[in-house]
Amino acid sequence: MIDPFNIIITGVGGQGNVLAARMLGNTLTKAGYYVTIGETFGASQRGGSVMSHLRVSKESSWSPQIPKGKAHLIIALEPIESLRVLAAYGNRDVKVVSNTRPIYPVGVICGDLAYPSLPDLNTAVAQLCDDARFINATEEAVALGHPILSNVIMVGAAAGLGLLPIDDESFKSVISENVPESKIDINMKAYRKGKEMAVDPVKF
């Protein structure tokens, strides 16, 4: 793993971005890494973009902000957010794993702005990164019982890329500390599903 490894989890307020960053961060901490998470969630409840920067290092802790152009992995809980993040932190080597389910900005909802089609977005994202994978995380989460599981699926998908030193057991122990006993299984199921989906992303 590149050290420090820079991950950005991006999405929209209410998607559980902070939680996903926590899950991933805790798992990595358990695996013996220094983790720093920087969160921007000031306007999260009001439809704004929310972003977490994770810095992962074997050696020491890093600052809560990734320098421009230096992300290694972008996890997008919402598809267009990946593009916004790439424009600021991307590079030709960055990997992107993105949910396919859009959350429309108000401007789009009210018909003033246009939201790109997924294939269109895929093309744009692909132009700015090394590897872009879109997965139907929300749909899968709904099938599993609750849309909020989509962030666990996305964390699983990130794990499924094989770039991160995390294993199922450490993830499970983090989940166990954070959800009631009865919810552990479904969360693990979502995580594993995400891992599977990452190797079999949506084809455009």
Partner 1 sequence: MLLSKSEGKEFLLMGNQAIARGALEAGVSVAAGYPGTPSSEIIENLAAVAPDADLYVEWSVNEKVSLEVAAAGSFAGLRSLCVMKQNGVNVASDFLLHLVLSGTRGGMVLIPCDDPGAISSVNEGESRYFARLMEIPLLEPGDFQEAKDMTKWAFELSEEISNVVMLRSVTRLSHASGNVKLGELNRAKPSAKFNFSGNLLDAKTGPVITAPVPFRHTQQQAKLKKAIDLFERSPFNRYEGPENPELLIITSSACYLYSREALRVLDAEKRAGILKLGTTWPLPPELLKKHLAAADKILIVEEVLPFLEENIKILAMENIDSIGKIKFFGKNNGTIPSVNEMNPDHVIKAVSSILNIPYTGMPEEYEKSGQILSFTKSPNRELTFCPGCPHRASYWSINRALTLNGKNGFVCGDIGCYTMAILPAGFGTIKTAHSMGSGTGVASGFGKLKSFGLNQPVVSVCGDSTFFHAGMPALVNAVHNGSDMLLVILDNSGTAMTGFQPHPGIPSDAAGNKLPSVDIESVCRSIGAKTFTTDPFNISETEKKVLDIIENETGARVLIMRQGCALSPEKKGKKKYNVSVDSNICKGTDCGCNRLCTRVFRCPGLVWNSSTGKAVIDEIICAGCGVCADICPSGAIKRSEVMS
How far apart are alpha carbons 172 and 159 in whole angstroms?
Answer: 13
Counting contacts by CB under 8 A, is residue 42 touching partner 1? yes
Closest to partner 1 by CB, 109 or 199: 109
How far apart are alpha carbons 15 and 36 in whole angstroms?
Answer: 21
Counting contacts by CB under 8 A, is residue 172 touching partner 1? no
Interface with partner 1: number of residues (CB under 8 A):
60
**CB neighbours of 63 closer than 8 A, spacing ≥ 6?**
36, 38, 55
Counting contacts by CB under 8 A, is residue 49 touching partner 1? yes
Q: Across the strands, what pairs with 12?
A: 49
- Least Å distance, CB 196 to partner 1, is 26
Site for partner 1 in 117-146 (CB under 8 A): 120-121, 124, 127-128
- Judged by CB under 8 A, the residue of 1, 2, 113, 199 near partner 1 is 113
**CB neighbours of 111 closer than 8 A, spacing ≥ 6?**
none
- Least Å distance, CB 199 to partner 1, is 26
